[in-house]
Amino acid sequence: MSDVKGNGLPSTAVFQLGTLGAVAESRFARAVEGLGLKPKHAGLMTALAAVAAESQQELAARLGVAPSLVVTLADQLEALGAVQRTRDVNDRRRQVLTLTEVGRALLARCEAVARALDEELLADLTPRQRAALAEALGVLTGR
């Protein structure tokens, strides 16, 4: 009896999210390495696509990483032609990062990859369970 609920650490959301997150990240990493990207690159590009003209410091805070890491990631994305650095005219200390056409294309391919992985990953869920999961994850990530 009692395999249903409240059973040990593995039944907590924190543990399960940690586990699944590691799997998801690892698979995504392998899937996009052919594009010369790592997950954090996709994260940065996503942030750039979402809000325009943020300082790298704000981006770092949003991504939860050190500002110096944003520099490195931006360097690599710039080398791929995915991102462009421009000095902010109003504040010449700031660098404005903008997605290029190449960047947008790369991001689109990342999305395609992610959707394909979703199919694999969520294969055992019923459509109803899938929708419920999407709803909950949407709330947790703040949409």
Partner DNA sequence: ATGAATCATTCGAGCTGTGAATGATATTTC
Partner DNA sequence: GAAATATCATTCACAGCTCGAATGATTCAT
Binding site for a copy of itself (CB under 8 A): 3, 5, 8-28, 39, 42-43, 46, 49-50, 64, 107, 110-111, 114-115, 117-118, 121-122, 124-125, 129-130, 132-141, 143
Stretch that binds DNA, among 12-20, 90-98, 100-108, 113-121 (CB under 7 A): 90-98
Least distance in Å: CB of 103 to DNA?
A: 16
Half-sphere exposure of 105 (CA within 13 A, CB side): 7
Q: Alpha carbon 8 to chain centroid distance?
A: 30
Q: How far apart are CA 134 and CA 81, in angstroms?
A: 33
C-beta of 74 vs 113, nearer to a copy of itself: 113
Can residue 66 be called a binding residue for DNA (CB under 7 A)? yes
C-beta of 65 vs 80, nearer to DNA: 65
Q: Write the CB contacts of 75 (distance below 8 Å, at least 6 apart in sequence).
A: none
Pick from 98, 95, 105, 87: which is nearest to 37 by CA? Answer: 105
Q: How far apart are CA 13 and CA 104, in angstroms?
A: 34
Which of 2, 5, 34, 91 touches DNA (CB under 7 A)? 91
Give the tokens for residue 10. Answer: 């593995």
- The residues of the shown chain that bind DNA, judged by CB under 7 A, are 38, 40, 55-57, 64-72, 74-75, 85, 91-95
